[in-house]
Amino acid sequence: MTAIAPGTVPKASPRGSAARARMLRGLLPALSLALVLLAIAWLNPRAISYFGFNLMLNLAIPIALATIAQMFVIAGNELDLSIGTFVGFVGCVTATWLRDAPLIGILVLIGSIGVYALLGALIHLRNLPSIVVTLGMSFVWQGLAILILPKPGGKAPEWLLSIMSFKPPYVPFPILAALLIAAVVHFGLMRTSYGVILRGSGGNAAALRRAGWSLLKTKIVLFALTGLFGVLSGMALIGITTSADANIGNGYTLLSIAGVILGGGEFVGGRVSPIGAVIGALTLALAASPLLTFMHIPPDWQVAANGAILIIVLAARVLISRRER
């Protein structure tokens, strides 16, 4: 991720070691993904195939989208504790209204992105802690989801089902989707000038304000983008599961935060990496389920082992970023 040519920096200088650490940090998400993949290949060679990747990774797409959503708020030094229940809410809308009355469904989904934008404005104008506001919103989304779908059920629209079960030649769909998501967001956030402003609002808000940029606007845009990717995540999830449940996304809140951090992001300072976040989400999805299933751990220990794997993967990331300081 750094552009320093090898050999031009003396090894002993603190700058050089920081640069190497930064490069290591950039490579770490990819490295941990490769490690998890190697472990899976060793435990169950059958999984490393077109069919296998399709099965192992298709549920990683909604996680990757939710992680990107979380990444946008984290870029603005905020945290979204409602993304999980929001994904569940979107899922319920997708499995009911979007199928039966597409127009209402689309309006509700766009409206929910609008709600996210308003939340961004509220948090900025009243200077509220985002954790409190989004925690409150998580109950609102959950309540709305139960109102729409009191009992599990509903069905995904046909077009969504066919998108999510698309089988391109040679490369499994989840991998294509992950590449696409990473490329689009990377370009938007890292390569455009407004992307720099967005990240800057988390990095140095005071400087941005003095330069004449509206912090209100950046916050609204960041939250709206979170809403947008939350909607995409919920729709992708329902496209895979085929029907919805009001509690379907609850686990995504913490997974998405872990994904951002694993992917090289920081809670403060506007330091995030879209490519890292997508890789982080894939790693988490693979480490939490396939790896665990293939290891044949006794049932009493499985739940604890799941946590242990997450901690090990995240700890490696923290060790390296500490060296950087």
Residue type, 253: T
| Segment interacting with other proteins, rule: CB under 8 A, options 26-34, 131-139, 193-201, 282-290 | 282-290
Q: Give which of 229, 191, 318, 222 is closest to 266, Cα–Cα.
A: 318
237 binds other proteins (CB under 8 A): yes
153 binds other proteins (CB under 8 A): yes
Tell me how far, at minimum, the Cβ of 238 lies from other proteins, in Å: 8
Among 16, 26, 52, 269, indicate the residue that binds other proteins (CB under 8 A): 52
Tell me how far, at minimum, the Cβ of 230 lies from other proteins, in Å: 15
Among 64, 285, 287, 313, indicate the residue that binds other proteins (CB under 8 A): 285
Residue that the structure tokens 């995904």 belong to: 156
Among 245, 259, 261, 281, indicate the residue that binds other proteins (CB under 8 A): 245
Tell me how far, at minimum, the Cβ of 289 lies from other proteins, in Å: 4
Q: Is 51 exposed, middle or buried (0-12, 13-18, 19+ CB in 10 A)?
A: exposed
d(CA 205, CA 128): 16
Among 293, 314, 320, 321, indicate the residue that binds other proteins (CB under 8 A): 293
Q: What is the DSSP string of 228-240?
A: HHHHHHHHHHHHH
160 binds other proteins (CB under 8 A): no
152 binds other proteins (CB under 8 A): yes
d(CA 301, CA 86): 31
55 binds other proteins (CB under 8 A): yes
Listed in sequence order, the residues at least 6 apart from 143 whose beta carbon sits closer than 8 Å to its beta carbon are: none
Among 25, 37, 58, 272, indicate the residue that binds other proteins (CB under 8 A): 58
